[in-house]
Amino acid sequence: MNEFLTRFMEDIAGRVHGPLSFRIILQPLMAVLFAVRDGRKDAREGKPPYAWALFTNADHRRELLQSGWKATGKIFVLALVLDAVYQYLAVRRFYTGEALAVSVLLALVPYLLLRGPVNLLQSRKSV
């Protein structure tokens, strides 16, 4: 287990300076742009903040997840593909767990963290 964590952390750190490092900035930026777009739309429609509603509104959870996936799915898949290419170029092996972790970090986390606050800010601005 210790060897796995050591390799995992080294490989993650290597992505910052290795080949295709532009994606470390580009993919979260794309997720942020989609989060801003969707958060503003949520505010216009009077919907609650995304992450809050996702965890507290069981009746609409499926709809919310589909909405979030629709916005971030392409970014997530692109992150997976680019990470596979990076792993091929830099490591010469493919580690599924690392690819999934990096893709979640670059594509889904920024979206999840920002869509709700953008909604709140837009709602307060409109009042």
Please write the tens of the pLDDT for every residue from 59-117: 989 999 998 899 899 889 998 998 899 889 888 889 898 899 989 999 999 999 999 99
- Looking at residue 11, what is its pLDDT? 77
Longest alpha-carbon distance in the chain: 55
Which amino acid appears at position 1 of this protein? M
Which is higher by pLDDT, 24 or 11? 24
pTM as predicted: 0.83
Q: Which residue has the tokens 């979260």?
A: 28
Q: Are 39 and 30 within 8 A, CB to CB?
A: no
- Looking at residue 127, what is its pLDDT? 64
**Helices of type H across the chain:** 2-17, 23-44, 50-56, 61-90, 96-103, 109-126
CA distance 125 to 60: 26
30, with CB counted inside 10 A (0-12, 13-18, 19+), is: buried
